[in-house]
Structure 1
């Protein structure tokens, strides 16, 4: 510790007069202070080991009036101290408790102010991670975001650092350990906060069913924006604070949340050796979503409910497994696969394409539709290879061979085993609706860094909430100008343009389109798959896309095909 800096800090500290203590706890002490005739200010005394100095440095560079204005920071022997402007007003929690729900117009104004603050914060690389009613002050000039105790700069953190939990009911699902947290967690929280402000109903958890019940009486446009902001999957949410703010503004004008993203399967195949010329020509301008023409809805359940229910079912299944002694059961060297699944095992060490295997995993759902869907969902082909980091990169195709049952959220199970048949990892990938007769492709990463001897792909048996009788078709896209190149790190880059042709029968979308690039060898075997995302253009409009692999160890390929699906 710099002794001179500490003495200087102590002199500054003594100059302030404490008017009253605002809060005190393990995370530090917050005081209302004055400096002579100047003030009041807020002084936060933080334990040195819990002080996120980089966050306060970032805040000092932000210009939004909705964020704290930092006056000074200094060091004490045991504390890091921050002094910022005081904003008079009550917290949103206090206002709602005292006055009840805000009018929709006032709730939209709240959303505007929060998005303005977060846009500035995110532009400087920081994430708040605890946007909640108690951390929002409603002043005469609007809403102000306070309390940055959970804030961080994700780019400077590593995987070993635990995600801050945030405030229960407002924190995004990934803050409870699902994945690393980025700026989209703040956007989820904004959706929850606006729902709370507009209804007065405090959430008890992350349930999509509860959220829909709370906001059922709100205007349709506002309701749709909130639902998308609070999507379980981060990629299904608005991707920036500016986008979310614009969506709330559109809802205020009656434009709604935007046209729902959808896709059909359109494939553009090119003969492209690795290292082909980079994508050239002037890209078409990105067209904003067509907010004025929401799609007609079928009677399908929303994927938010399904994903939340999947998590619940998985938790129950895990509990039953532990109760049955599964954790300590001896491993079957032959690999006891269990259930009624037909497994598509792949036995090569590095890469092994497979095809035409019907695989339905074990489940507990009953009913004729479930049985029909379980038989109809098949793995058409798959491949995998081990990356230099020991993780599995995979590609898989899934078909719905039925003519009258739609699988709302088919789930692929990816299981890695060692040479003795013991499970090294088991991952899942939930896909979007698969209509009768359709085939979808996907690619991604699985595993935990331990290279497997074999990888199996199967389809989880659907629950009765995941199937629906009736035919339909996905929205259609065309893909053009597909080219491949290499980036500076040797990764494969696939570029092209996507045109939205016509809407289909999807009941839900996120204004995002998943772009799936599949590489094939000279024999036509699938050898790799990667996924990228673009914002959905208006019908008839075209947007450029780019899909990039995660390394230079992509297997050799001769052709690339591109598929597009709603996300």
Structure 2
């Protein structure tokens, strides 16, 4: 973008009046705006490396009233901006949390409306991949589907065996979103089935009593329970092959043969805690906690009225990280003597992979003349490493240190870039953390790539935005104890432990979580693999257990477990 284009884009941006900021996080800023007395509209400013421009372009062509109506898109020097219509009200998650399960006729009407939105997306080649109660808006004209943060353009002819990384909300994400296969339209069908189960039972699919409630004939008609089992089959070929087939099963008078509704549960994401409260809306496996930006009112089958700033319900509202084993060319970076707060180490049972070679440790990023970022970046990468599995996907971990003695950095971002032997870029993606407290070293991990193994991987710290750097108002540490490693009969390995939350002046938000990072090392103590898990905040001074189950690990001699705020 040249200076003239930048000035033109900024003039467009300045024409909007910001009514209020709805959300701010690693995936961008969401605002309620108006222009020339028109609105309100929702404006999302997404960091350029994270923007799914093709998805938003396709969304602009969609005709369903149950999808956001895109009013405008434009580019800023470092942001991609979308402006779309605003729908006031409450999320489906809020409605069920406040009022309990929905009557079957109401649930069926809502799921059919959501199917209308998803079917329109699929006809335009987009899969949503995050159909959850938090992403459903209930308005006077019925249900609306929002949040396209992990949506992607999909093609039935794609030859990819699986997707880049594990994404989605646990309980609603399909098994293939955990690395079992590539995602396609049937992945959204799985989520629709889980969403219907949530509405009929009033609890999340990973709650301890979900199956019991689903089996209750008084709450869930047998035919609907069968349809849920059909949609939620573990194997995609056993599900309805399209949203249209799912809708046909929903309204059919006959029951198709299918597995039990509980048979499609993917591996646990590492926590033994059950989730029964709708306030815990986010159980992500990667760039998590994208804020919900639209609120809505239940209409059509669900009638509500806004009174004194609250929402009063009336009408018919309910009566009542795993991977494939790497090849011998596992590569890893140099290591540091720094240890993260809350880290715990142990010897592993594997042997050293002697064929590993040194990767490139990234340096601080720069954003040129952008005055919205700090010029003296306090963030440093002190350790990093990775390995590529047989399918070419990269499993990495890194340590990020905040060298400031007084400043905390919120939403620090690291760009992970894989390069071929000739130096060309194989992949590049940005990983965001939640917080780096003063003098804290944070370990994070994940999966990257598009299925082509790189020769080297660079880890580069981006300069944080000025508004994300501030004097620390408190700190939090997470010591880990009681660790153990169990080799399972199915070939997996489970790493267990207990993490304690120690907050000093730090006030956790509602739904606060702790992110656990597993780091594997070779005989040279270099990182060769990483994976992650999440647990709910147990309360200050309290502990909570966790487990991380992984499969087909590279050979290693020791492992570390670290924890950070999420």
Instruction: Look at both structures and tell me which one has the larger radius of gyration over its CA atoms.
Output: 1
Q: TM-score when scaled to structure 2?
A: 0.46
Report the structure, 1 or 2, having the larger helix content.
1
Q: TM-score when scaled to structure 1?
A: 0.45
